[in-house]
Structure 1
Amino acid sequence: MNDNKLIIDNDAGGDDALAIFIALLYEKYFQGPQLIALTTANGNTNEDNVFINNQKILNVAKRRDVPIYRGCKESLVITPQSSQYYGEDGLGNNGEVLTDPLPVQNEGAVLTLINLSKKYPGNITVVTIGTLTNIALAIKLDPEFLGRLNHLYIGGGHIYSEKYPSAEFNVRMDAEAYHIVVEHATPDKVTIVPFSQIKEHLTIDMDWRRDTLGGLDTDIIRAQNIYEDVALKKKMDKWDSLDPATVSVALSNMSTGPGKPDFVTEYKYSKSGIILCGDKRGINTNTFVRKEDANVRIAYSFDMEMYKSFLFHLFSADVSRPK
């Protein structure tokens, strides 16, 4: 049995839904880590919608046992507008009405993160696929928080270049929170999965997404196609998605058994930071250095065919299973 515990801190857009489904299916069919909590934050849509969307996602996966802890509705200093990239509701504007809602947990996301890290010291991995507000507040309230985690995986940022000259969405949503986290980070505890590197290495043909992965006959894939519908219609022939890749990177480091998503081809060590002022606010800085001089590890390059194979076999495991 896998003793590792997983928490996904998310802003519940269509990409977050796919990431959460990956974690749940990997736990179910491949002895993956136990998903013990979802924590919410403002981002793809407002936090009220995020809380509702997390419930919809768990309903589809038949995992209403996973508790949802509500997090920050605003960023620490400046709260940018939600993206609505996946629709105003975050899940494709599909008109789904939540029935039989889950009860609200008494404890909020930030205190839950701290308390669970104390309950399972060294056994909890946190994956953030939205703003880092909840994580930054946990660190400020408890400076030992990061040290008690097994690892923190951050989906966000770009490796700055002429090709990627602007701030990435997850990081831009709370630049100060990113600053707090990397100021306290060490490469043994924090791995960043930059969106620039997903775009460089995991940009997949849209036909494969729509017809191969999207054609699988499962409740989860049918729901996922709806949740991503608004975003998929914006793209012509390519599909790339940061959040599912970030969760998959985390699983690749938490697993040793069959189905392990072994698709990361290179990690680099970096002294990572962020610009907080002026017209470059939210842009990440990265100086690649030796591990002993770094504050984070960067998941830098990936094998696209291995990643596609992992996704297909994972979601195929749910085909023709008893309902």
Structure 2
Amino acid sequence: MAPRKIIIDTDPGVDDMLAMLLACSCLPEELEVVLLSITYGNIDVQNCIRNAISLFYHIEKEIAWRKSQGKPIGFDTIRKTKPIVAVGPEHPLTDDMLMADYFHGRDGLGGIHESHPHLSPDDTWKSVLSAAKNSDDPAMSEIADELAKKDALFTPSHKPAHQEILRLLRENEPDTITIVAIGPLTNLALAASEDPEAFLRVKEVVVMGGTINEPGNV
């Protein structure tokens, strides 16, 4: 049986980081993470992309430690597929942006990048962000391509996140990709409005939505 293919649309705060780590830890025959589409949300998109890259940075460190100790390496899912990381918009389509930095901290991870800077990745995340902001610039495309050649656990994209969503839906059989939306839905709205026919090829959209009378999500 083929693994389930998923796109994780995310605004990485603490909860989303744990969700992505769980997905990356699955067996490759169970799950294939094909794309992390990054959006604003808990915090600004700059910190969101830094947090997403931080996840891979620490998985790489964990893999190196396991190798040095002769332990099973694990993380076969992302080592096999190297999921794409693409960046979406910085703001909602119409409304004002409401962040949750009061809950998750200014960087989305309780201020860890400031209090423990040695735990932050190098400036790779800035290159991914620059490439996304200047997707029509050939120089930025080259940056993304060079990053992709490195022995990394992810594949950076110089295309906007909603365009990567549409590309993957077009290139895969209908009803084979699930979108797991755990952040604001702007990337999905952009994809659906740009090419409704391609967007309808998605198998399902699983949403961590908000509540009506209570704070937080369900």
Taking structure 1 as the reference length, the TM-score comes to: 0.47
SS class of match (2:207): strand
Q: Which amino acid aligns with 2:122?
A: T
1:76 to 93, 96, 117: 93
The 8 Å contact of residues 2 and 34 in structure 1, kept in 2 or not, is answered as no
Q: Which amino acid aligns with 1:127?
A: V
The 8 Å contact of residues 58 and 66 in structure 1, kept in 2 or not, is answered as no
Q: How far, CA to CA, are the matches of 2:4 and 2:120 in structure 1?
A: 34
Q: Which amino acid aligns with 1:76?
A: L
SS class of match (1:73): coil
Q: Which amino acid aligns with 2:23?
A: A
Query: Does 2:208 align with 1:155?
Result: yes
The 8 Å contact of residues 11 and 131 in structure 1, kept in 2 or not, is answered as yes
2:181 to 128, 131, 138: 128
Q: Which amino acid aligns with 2:56?
A: L
Q: Which amino acid aligns with 1:71?
A: G
The aligned counterpart of 2:124 is 101
Higher relative contact order (CA 8 A, sep 6+): 2
Q: Which amino acid aligns with 2:170?
A: K
The aligned counterpart of 2:165 is 113
Taking structure 2 as the reference length, the TM-score comes to: 0.68
The aligned counterpart of 1:247 is none
**1:163-242 aligned within 5 A:** 165-166=213-214, 195=218
Q: Which amino acid aligns with 1:80?
A: M
What displacement does 1:100 show? Answer: 5.7
Over the aligned positions, Cα root-mean-square deviation in angstroms equals 2.0
Whose radius of gyration is greater, 1 or 2?
1
The 8 Å contact of residues 11 and 40 in structure 2, kept in 1 or not, is answered as yes
What displacement does 1:93 show? Answer: 0.9
What displacement does 1:26 show? Answer: 1.5
Q: Which amino acid aligns with 1:126?
A: I
**1:31-46 aligned within 5 A:** 31-46=29-44
1:98-151 CA-to-partner distances (Å, cap 9, x unmatched) read 216255221110111011000113211110001000001111111123420111
The 8 Å contact of residues 11 and 40 in structure 1, kept in 2 or not, is answered as yes
1:67 to 53, 78, 84: 84
Q: How far, CA to CA, are the matches of 1:93 and 1:2 in structure 2?
A: 40
Q: How far, CA to CA, are the matches of 2:96 and 2:194 in structure 1?
A: 21
What displacement does 1:66 show? Answer: 2.3
Q: How far, CA to CA, are the matches of 1:93 and 1:24 in structure 2?
A: 24
SS class of match (1:9): strand
What displacement does 1:54 show? Answer: 0.4
The aligned counterpart of 2:46 is 48
Any gaps of 5 or more consecutive residues in structure 2?
A: 61-77, 114-118, 129-156
The 8 Å contact of residues 24 and 61 in structure 1, kept in 2 or not, is answered as no
Count of residue pairs the alignment pairs up: 163
Q: Which amino acid aligns with 2:158?
A: N
What displacement does 1:82 show? Answer: 1.3
